[in-house]
Structure 1
Amino acid sequence: MDNIMKDKLIKITKEKFQEGDPAHDISHTLRVLKNAEFIASKENGDLDIIIPSALFHDIICYPKNSEKSKYSSDESANFAENILKTLPDYPKYKISKVHTSITQCSFSKQIVPESLEAKILQDADRLEATGAVSIMRTFASAGLMNSELYNFDDPFCKKRKPDSLRYALDLFYNRLLIVKDFMHTETAKNIAEKRTKILYDFLNALEEELYEI
């Protein structure tokens, strides 16, 4: 993909983006794009598919505690399809591949992506659920959903099942610590492995602070 088309797609994304959840804002989208481009450079992915898929994967994003949340990826895929159809210079035969990549991106749907490009997009998005960025995103979303920071009696889910809609810290056990096990590309696996260590360091530091006095 040439820079003219890429810049045009970024411009459209910024104009159409629905701000609301700081964990799924334009910064998140641009980080996913950066992740996806890097992975694609190592795994030989098609940037004509990967770039619009990354830019539009969260263009429609309902709150995670909303009943409509399950429709976010499908509606984002439809949005991407409609936009790409209006661009004369975008290869029309690749639009359906963008649509599929976006519909298969959702973590909560637990879909195993089919194409290399869909795998790269899913990996790029899931890298946002590892490392320092994922910690910021977790507590930002918790504030939006009015969730508690952690369960006072059992912060680290040692005697109970995680409930990440109620307690922010529980998302570490529901998702963040296990994301590395669901990566598809070797490139993403290596990155996720390093970033997961940051999560354990955070939990160890928090446990020390909560119980040292």
Structure 2
Amino acid sequence: MIAYIKGVVGELSPTEAVIEAAGVGYQLAISLNTFAALQGKETAKVYVKEVIREDAHDLFGFFSKEERTLFEALTSVNGIGGATARMVLSAFAPAELAEVIQSEQTAMLKSVKGIGPKAAARIVLDLKDKIGTLLSNGTIDVAPSAGGGIATADKERAEEAISALSTLGFQPAAVRKVVAAILKEEPGLDVQQIIKRGLKEIK
């Protein structure tokens, strides 16, 4: 079992990262939170969860242990696979997701692509107590995760770009993560530039 991979960030996109360690490039499926955290880094330590099925051997990568813990919790819910869990983790930072589940905000969960009313209810029912335990023992920190903020100077343009991209049919939560990552990498971009970058990077 692979616990983590520490090495060079060889390739990076909003959905995948390739981390090179000891001459081997490991292709990892990642969330938008991890994408934002890895932006601009030449080397990184990425926590890993292996998902092995008869027809596939997938590696999911996470910038924090908290995110990996929540991924494991989500995939323990009947009907929630790795791809859907990654979508949920792209929509919410770990602390945000813990709060959503704890406060039974099924409407927020239903806003994530692939999560219907029944799945949202199952997530809350199955994980509320588990998340409470993880919060109380410090496994999940209530502090916001790193990498998601938008600088005050960029906020007005960011909101315009988020609104425009959301109107085009992209999930608002996913759009916000990508726009934050874009402006972290290149502060000061105008609205049109943010939208053009966003169209290329949002999956």
Q: Which has the higher helix share?
A: 1
TM-score with structure 1 setting the length: 0.28
- Larger Cα-atom Rg: 1
TM-score with structure 2 setting the length: 0.29
